[in-house]
Amino acid sequence: MPTDLSVSRCALAAESAAMAALDGWFTSFATQNALPDEPAGELRVCLHELFGNVIMHGQPKERRHAVWLTAARRGGAVILTVEDDCLPFNPLVQPSKPPATSLEDAEIGGLGLVLVRRFSTSLRYEFSDAKNRLVLTRLLDETGMTA
Amino acid sequence: MELQSEELANDITQVALIGALDLAGTEEIGLKLNVLAGSRKRLLMDMTGLTFLSSMGIRSLITVAKTVTRRGGKVVLLKPIAAVEKVLVTTGCDSMMPIHHDQGAALAEFAV
């Protein structure tokens, strides 16, 4: 089992006001690990989508939710883990819709998962210890990933 | 997130988006964007200063474009940085709104 070279953790309330803290935390991780701009920017997009999903859709709505984030650099890969205390929900079983080809056909929502799938190498979901857990892996030098 | 608008010739309104158009950013400028979409027919969205775009920002742009188009108008995107353009292309926005890196070509879109 490879050893993590660098691990950073962060806990945030699931609210839009925490986006700045999310950015600050991940920017610090990216800088410390000298991540190239392009994958770092795309991973930031993924974090915004996954964190935003909890804010927008986390159930039950009656109480505030928490999100626990872990970023790890392991060799040539970055592994992001996003955990929340919402009711079980697996975003990966949602159908992947093709991009709209015209404004008339365009749907307003559902594009976050399109970006997460495009900008990640692999995605895994599990529910355990009363938490949703989504693990995103991004190989930094994957051919074609940044084309 | 800031939004600055400027009236150009031929009833074109240039809208400069400055900052990060994410969940927080859309909350900050959403109302101004909706007002522009409901009152202008030719929107040139200057993305030179747009540093970040997430699906929430895409959602705002598509909403604006749908509103303007329903009223017989057009939305054109100008000079997105590479990272922002990749998000636009990945989500198919380039097939909904023309993207240009030359202002003259962008303005010419409104004559089509």
Q: Tokens 């031929």 correspond to what residue?
A: B10
Tens of pLDDT, residues B8-19: 999 999 999 999
Report how far residue A122's alpha carbon sits from residue B1's, in angstroms, rounded to the nearest whole number: 32
Q: What is the DSSP code string of A27-63?
A: HHHHHHTT--HHHHHHHHHHHHHHHHHHHHH-S-TTS
Tell me what ipTM this predicted complex has: 0.92
Residue A147 clears pLDDT 70, i.e. is over it: no
A91 touches chain B (CB under 8 A): no
Decide: helix, strand or coil at residue B46.
strand
Q: Is A115's CB within 8 Å of B87's CB? A: yes
Minimal Cβ distance to B56: which of A52, A103, A106: A52
Q: Where does residue B29 rank: exposed (0-12), middle (13-18), buried (19+ CB within 10 A)?
A: buried
Chain A, residues 4-43, CB within 8 A of chain B, namely 16-17, 19-20, 23, 37-38, 41-42
Q: Which residues of B touch A41 (CB under 8 A)?
A: 52, 83
Phi, psi of A107 (to 5 degrees): -95, 150
CB B87 within 8 A of CB B56: no
pLDDT digits (tens, 9 = 90+) for A10-42: 999 999 899 999 999 999 999 999 999 999 999
Complete domains list, chain B, with CATH:
2-111 (3.30.750.24)
User: pTM of the entire structure?
Assistant: 0.92
Q: What is the mean pLDDT of residues A122-136?
A: 97
> Which of the 8 DSSP states describes residue B93?
G
Q: How far from each other are the two terminal CA atoms of chain A, in whole angstroms? A: 30
Could you give the domains of chain A? 6-139 (3.30.565.10)
Of A20, A41, A114, the CB nearest to B83: A41
How far, in Å, are A6, A117, B9, B18, B73 from residue A96 at the CA level?
Answer: 32, 9, 42, 31, 31
User: At A80, which helix (H) or strand (E)?
Assistant: strand A77-84
B3-21 core/surface letters (b: 16 or more CB in 10 A; e: else): bebeeeeeebbbbbbbbbb
- Specify the pLDDT at position A107: 80
